[in-house]
A and B are shown apart, each in its own frame.
Chain A
Amino acid sequence: MSSDLAIRIRQNFAFLTAVSLFCVVYLLYHVAHPKGFSSAVLVQNGDEVFTLALVAMAQTVPVLAAGLDLSVGALMTMVGCFASYLLSGAPDGTALSLDLAGWRLGLGTLPGGVPGILIGILVCLAIGAFAGLINGVVVVYGRIQPIIATLATGAIFIGVALFLRPQPGGKIDDDLNWALTNSLGDFASTVHIFNDGAAPWFAPFAGVPTPFVLLALIVLLVWVPFSRTVTGRAIYAIGSAEGAAYMSGLDVNRARIAAFTLGGFFAGCGGLFLAIQTSSGNADIPQAGAYTLNSIASVVIGGTSLLGGSGGAIGSVFGAMILRVISFFFRIFDIAPLLQPLFEGIILLAAVSIGALRVLRVKNTLELFR
């Protein structure tokens, strides 16, 4: 039925706007870029977009439940610092130990080579999810408002990060770095699959940047299925009307904890990638703060309502990409570096104020108050 399509379009209007805006802006970027549409540029874009996209996804889930997570940047940083120990890929394995105030606690040895790297990745992701779980538990069972609870847990996470890496350092396995931050062809040749990337059927895919593929995989294999589970939908429900969700028999506590846990998982993915990309762990507090704030902007630009109940992680990915592409523009148009922050700020302000146009059309003032 055509009316079905019309309904869907109307309901997803903000999301579609974000997608269209991104397409236009990204197209313009490649048109204006001297080496536009080339694999090298796409790879570079992918590397620079991935972490923010994932942190934006991390922010989206609690926001959908009418909450907020001010710890996403810190969580990401913390996982990155863990990664800088666990992913060194030393062939003989890595001995892990905890040094606290002069006491040493041996934690065993991480195996070497590829198995060690895989275990390291899994452990990092588990840490991310676990940190998210802590957020959820503090909010639900501590009954503390998310904004202040995550402000506090963020401080704790950054403290852990600083403990792990008082100075930037650590090492990431070079092959891992190469494989994940370049194109699929490079990935294949590093991992020795598809005839080291030379297989003929593989040729059209060889130029696709791996970060984009990873991003798509995470969205398709984690977010999309999750949003179609009962718990995933319950997150939307509690963001829309928590009392009604409770009366309808939904487990509000479990949904909220799940929201924060999934957020922690996504932020962990982002931190993992950032560590792999920069080949180090860096407990950079201002950077963590910047990621947190940019994640909120990405969520809003991507069409998710800060009040909860509508939107989605895919929109936030596009929101993050729009933010990043705007800064790419500055590079190619050679805007004075001193003016870049100003333009970024103005564009951000304009982007989030666009929603205000809708408000100006409201004729019944009472509708403005939620």
Chain B
Amino acid sequence: MADAPQGDFLVLSQISKRYGGVRALENVDFRCRRGKIHAVLGENGAGKSTLIKIVAGAVQPDAGSITLDGRLRQFGAPAAATAAGVVCIFQELSLMPDLSVADNISIAAPPRRFGLIDARAQRRRAEALLAEVGCEDVNPLVRVRDLPLSRRQMVEIAKALGQKPQLLILDEATSALTSADVEKVYSLLARLKTENVAILYITHRMHEVEALADRASVFRNGRHIETFDKGARSTAEIVQLMIGRDIATQYPPKPKRERRPIAALKVDRLGWENSLESISLEVGGGEIVGLGGLDGQGQKTLLLALFGVLRGVTGAITVNGRAVRPGSPAQAKAGEIRIALVPEDRKTEGLMLPMSVSDNLTIASLGALSFGPFVDFSKEAGAVEAGVKRLRIKIAAKTDAVSTLSGGNQQKVVIAKWLMTEPRIILLNDPTRGIDVGTKQELYRLMRELADQGAAILFYSTDYDELIGCCDRVAIMYDGRIVRELAGGELNETNIVASSLNIEGEGTASAGRESAHV
């Protein structure tokens, strides 16, 4: 890379950071320039988040230097970085749910009068910034807690704009947005480029990189691998840089079936509050059925309803011919029904992070691993060993806290935990989000293996490729209803996109960019 040094706005030199025994970043050199969008790519655990936290002042590097606009800096806290013009947009990490939108937007440096916060000026400021991101409909008085997720993300973006960034960092900032809002963000970024703002854009999504980035950097295992200009590398080459070896995502082959297998799980006109309406679906033993559609159309809610987490569910649920109505996860996993749910957020719903790998693995199947009220330690040890082995979970010792594991291994613990209950029906809530490619492939193989052994699998994913590659059938949800089921030859990206936007028939290229009513 031959950059003229005066063009670089941010220069990181030999940055290193360790967390206990894990090297998050190692001797990283990195540069980015004003007026350009610079994508940062890498798998989970590559070090992107740590890098961003260091630049944002939330974390201090063990070694190395940060130079901003030609001056050496040390950011002891996020406030220092913000003062220097570095502004971060996280996925909702910096909003206070109990405070209003106006309060959140001007939280650190509000307009003041006589030393006190000037509420009216603050409100006007919020209205102006919300208008800039195209969200005039949000009332600044509303508490952030009362807004839907995509609106919250836009408030986060409005807040970042208000801090007059010179370096704007977006960390997976568009994952919760509707496609209309995503377009707004793209145009916002284009405008910021013309205002000579340097932009760092972290993403997992290749199509965003192609659409936005002027330059891209790949990180792997805590190291900066390569930086290149737009178009200099093909997608395949980029993926190879990210994972370090040549792997095309391979999905295990799907069995050809003459007839639909008998339904292990049958859902008939299921409804719940305003989120689910008249859902009818069948999942046969040995099938992998996918749930698709835009974010927030009820897919996660459906899984929760089947698992007994929701009250007031209407309609019929039938498991292996018997009508059931699980009233809690304890009932859902019990002997007659045997449903398992791999939840959305492994850190807060799937695992007890401070507890050991062993404790986390066995928590759902203690009934089988005990005699009377007592835990059978030898049975438990055997089960733990088997679970670790089956999923090839990389751990130092089974007594280690599960918080020390990488994201992929943590997810494996969650899945192994449920496999120990010998479930008949497995519900998966976006299980590969934030997981490295290698582990993803293992999970795809495992899913097919479990299906071949007779389990019925209902699989929600936000990744079209996964749905197409793994599932026998995919049910697309829109506004709480299933609008279409795709199978066989119909199961392709065009149809998925079209159905997600609730457009009839084969969609055209422009259909993908229409604003959806969400």
Contact = CB atoms under 8 A, between A and B. Distances in A.
Q: Do chains A and B touch in the complex (CB under 8 A)?
A: yes
Interface of A: 3-4, 7-8, 11, 225, 228-230, 233, 236-237, 239-241, 243-251, 309-310, 363-366
Contacts of A245: 96, 107
A363 B97 contact: no
A249 B82 contact: yes
The 8 closest A-B pairs by CB, nearest first: A249-B79, A309-B98, A240-B98, A240-B96, A249-B108, A228-B116, A247-B94, A310-B98
B172 to A, nearest CB: 15
Interface of B: 56, 58, 77-79, 82, 88, 90, 93-99, 103-104, 107-110, 112, 115-117, 119, 139, 141-143, 272-273, 304, 309-312, 328, 349
B99 A248 contact: no
A10 B82 CA distance: 34
B302 to A, nearest CB: 13
Contacts of A8: 141
A243 B104 CA distance: 14
Contacts of B104: 248
Contact of B58 (A3, A229, A246, A366): A246
B141 A363 contact: no
B304 A364 contact: yes
B272 A7 contact: no
Given A237-B96, A245-B96, A309-B96, A229 B117 contact: yes
A4 B139 contact: yes
Given A236-B96, A309-B96, A309-B97, A363 B310 contact: yes
Contacts of B58: 246-247
B135 to A, nearest CB: 16
Given A4-B141, A228-B119, A251-B77, 14 more contacts: A225-B116, A229-B117, A230-B109, A233-B110, A236-B99, A237-B107, A241-B96, A245-B96, A247-B93, A247-B94, A249-B107, A250-B79, A250-B107, A364-B309
Contacts of B142: 7
Contacts of A7: 139, 141-142
Contact of A363 (B78, B99, B116, B272): B272
A223 to B, nearest CB: 12
A252 to B, nearest CB: 9
A240 B97 contact: yes
A230 B108 CA distance: 7
Contacts of A246: 58, 77-78
Contact of B96 (A244, A364, A366): A244
Contacts of A247: 56, 58, 78, 88, 90, 93-94
Contacts of A366: 304, 309, 349
B81 to A, nearest CB: 8
B143 A11 contact: yes
Contacts of A3: 139
